[in-house]
Amino acid sequence: MQVQKIEVIANETGGNHRTEKLLPGILAQLQATFGDYSLHKTEYHGHAEKLAAALCQENSDQPQTAWVLLVIGGDGTLHEVINGLQKNGGRKVAVGYIPTGTGDDFARAAGISEQPKKAIAQIAAASQPTALDIGVITMRHGEKHYFVNNIGIGLDALIVHLTNHSSSKMVLNKFHLGNLSYPLNAISAYQIQEPYPIRIKNAQGAHYQFERTFLMTVTNHPYFGGGIPIAPPADLQDHSLYLVLVEKPKLRGLPSLVYKILSSHSMDTPAIFHLKDTAFSLNVASKQHIQIDGEEGYSPIITRLSLSSQPFLI
C-alpha cells in the first residue's frame, strides 16, 4: 500500500521487555521498507491511548486515510491504541500491528506473524486495509470502551486481578516464566470465585438467565489467555461476538472441562454455553471482577456489548 505518513507507537516493556531488545532491528526494517516515520515511545501504563488520541488531533486537518499508525507491543498496547483511535475520530485510520507481547492473542487470530520481520513484510504487502471487528462496551451512563480480544466477568477477571497483584508474577517474570502465574492463580481463583446470577439479552431480544455463573467471557475471536481456543469458530471478520458461559462445575468435573477447552472442543460440551450475536446486554446485580483485554475493573449493573471496526494492514 502507498503510505503518505507513518506514525509509530512502541511499548518497550511489552513481552516482559522483549520489545526493547527487538526495537532497534524493527525500526531499521521500518526505515528500509517505508522510509521516514515518527516514533512515539510509551512511558507509562495508559500512555498509548493518549498518544493515539493526540495523533488523531494532530492529523485532524487531513483525511484519516492519509496516515497510518504502526503499533509495536502486546495485546495491552494494541488495546490502548484502539481505544485512543475509536474514541477520538480515528476509526478509519489503518493500523499495522507488529506483535512483541507475551500473549499476542489478537495477532494469532488476525494471522499476523509473531516474527517482527514477517509482520513488517505483511504490512508492506497489504494492498489495502481490511476492516476487523472491534468489541464495544457501553456503560450505564453511555461511556464507551473498546476491546480487541475479550471482556470477562467472574473467574477469568479474578485470575487477572490475582495475577496483577501477586508477588509471584514478578519472581516468575525474572525467569521469563511470567505465563505460569496465570495457571497458578487459576487454582486460587477457582476456590475464591462464588457463582453469581446473570441475565443476558441478545440482539433479537431473547432472554437467558443463569443462576450459578462461574465464567462469562464475550470474545471477538477464538483465543484467550495466550492461545487457549475458547471460541474456535469466532472470526475477526464475521461481525459477531461470541459469548461463552460456564456454570460452577463440581471439582471432579473440572479436569474434563479444562481438557475440552484446551483441546478446541469447548463447543461440544453441554457444560459450556455458547451464544453468537452482533450485540448482547448483560445484567449482573452483584459486584464482580471484570476484565477488558486484561485490564481489571468491577462490573457495572448493565452493560451493552456491540461491535465497531478498525482497518488493519494484514
Name the site residues for ligand ATP (rule: CB under 6 A): 11, 13-16, 42-47, 73-77, 80, 101-104, 294
- Closer of 13 and 181 to ligand ATP (Cβ): 13
Provide the total of helices (H) and of strands (E) in the chain, helices listed first. 9, 17
Q: What is the DSSP string of 82-140?
A: HHHHHTTT-TT-EEEEEE-SSS-HHHHHHT--SSHHHHHHHHHH-SS-EEEEEEEEE-T
- Closer of 123 and 200 to ligand ATP (Cβ): 123
3-state secondary structure (DSSP) of residue 289: strand
Give Rg (Cα) of the chain.
19
**Closest CB 99 distance from ligand ATP, rounded Å:** 7
Task: Name the DSSP class of 143.
Answer: -
- Closer of 113 and 269 to ligand ATP (Cβ): 113
Our CA angle for 110, 115, 118, nearest 5°, is: 75
**Closest CB 12 distance from ligand ATP, rounded Å:** 6
Which residues lie closer than 8 Å to 124 by C-beta, 6 or more apart? 1, 33, 34
Q: Which residue is nearest to ligand ATP (CB)?
A: 74
Per-residue cell: 23: 526495537
**Closest CB 202 distance from ligand ATP, rounded Å:** 29
**Closest CB 81 distance from ligand ATP, rounded Å:** 10
- Closer of 12 and 277 to ligand ATP (Cβ): 12
Q: How far apart are CA 223 and CA 112, in angstroms?
A: 14
**Closest CB 11 distance from ligand ATP, rounded Å:** 4
Q: How far apart are CA 42 and CA 59, in angstroms?
A: 19
**Closest CB 172 distance from ligand ATP, rounded Å:** 13
**Closest CB 71 distance from ligand ATP, rounded Å:** 9
Q: How far apart are CA 307 and CA 253, in angstroms?
A: 34
- Closer of 245 and 314 to ligand ATP (Cβ): 314
- Closer of 75 and 277 to ligand ATP (Cβ): 75
What's the distance, CA 188 to chain centroid?
Answer: 24
Q: How far apart are CA 261 and CA 181, in angstroms?
A: 19
3-state secondary structure (DSSP) of residue 297: strand
Q: Within 13 Å of residue 157, how many CA atoms lie on the same side as its CB?
A: 23
- Closer of 176 and 212 to ligand ATP (Cβ): 176
**Closest CB 83 distance from ligand ATP, rounded Å:** 11
Q: How far apart are CA 39 and CA 255, in angstroms?
A: 47
- Closer of 11 and 299 to ligand ATP (Cβ): 11
